[in-house]
Amino acid sequence: MRGEPGAVLRHRAAVLGKPVDHSLSPVLHEAAYAALGLEGWSYGRFEVDEGGLAPFVEGLDETWRGLSLTMPLKVVAFDVAREVSELARRAGAINTLSRGSAGWVGDNTDVHGIVAALRDAGVTRPHGATIIGSGATARSALLALEALGVSAIRVAARNAEAVAELAAVAEVPVVHVPLADWAKGAGPVVVSTVPGPGAAVATDATSADLTGTVLLDVVYADWPTPLAHAASAAGATVVSGLEMLVHQAAEQLRIFTGVEAPVPAMQAAGRAALTG
């Protein structure tokens, strides 16, 4: 990975994780490079586990400008970053490493991705919101909802202790409700952070009236998911996780290159890759 003598310097970036073969990040970033005419940039993917992140980063030469991190690297990345944004600290997760003057800088663009996806769906300063699930992505969802100006948040989850940890970092009131009750009084915004197709929570929407509710399902594969289908049938406006993925990648690209990302081109590439 170090530069070869006489090689033409290029700007490089990549997505790291394990597994990583499923990642759409190369599709999104390469589509942006093409739309912007950034011929000197390349974007790859590498399977790296927690123990391999530090040696991988140490082996990168000056041509490397940024890394997108997926599971299981979002926590161990704190050990690699020389600087960490306040947003990443509050989220407890780094999904972006960029080359800084003093070393690698850790940031979190998942929060931006959720905010932008909901704004595209017409969400502005909702009075309340519901988060389904209490895992790592739920914390990013909480910070995104705070950024949108929400005044209170319900967290529908089985793990009361995990919800208490979310409440401890929140700047607005957080209430725990049973997972099966997420659709009862869901409010104007719902963010489902449950991995997989969401079949376990889809049935809870079948008897609910979700008219006027915007539901973002962070899952983007095998769309529509059972949850997305059930919520749509109950009257909700449903947003695919692809929109979050595109917007968080767009923010990464801005950080890596200093250029505003061509979001429509990235959306088109992502949709084409999924349908293909």
Q: Which residues are catalytic?
A: 74
Residue type, 265: A
Instruction: Kindly give, in sequence order, each residue whose CB lies less than 8 Å from that of residue 191, ignoring residues fewer than 6 positions away.
Output: 114, 118, 129, 130, 131, 132, 141, 144, 145, 215, 216, 218
* Cβ atoms 11, 65 nearer than 8 A: yes
Q: Which DSSP category does 206 fall into?
A: T
Cα 5-10-13 angle, rounded to 5 deg: 120
Q: Using CA atoms, how far apart are residues 272 and 242, in angstroms rounded to an integer?
A: 11
Cα 126-127-133 angle, rounded to 5 deg: 75
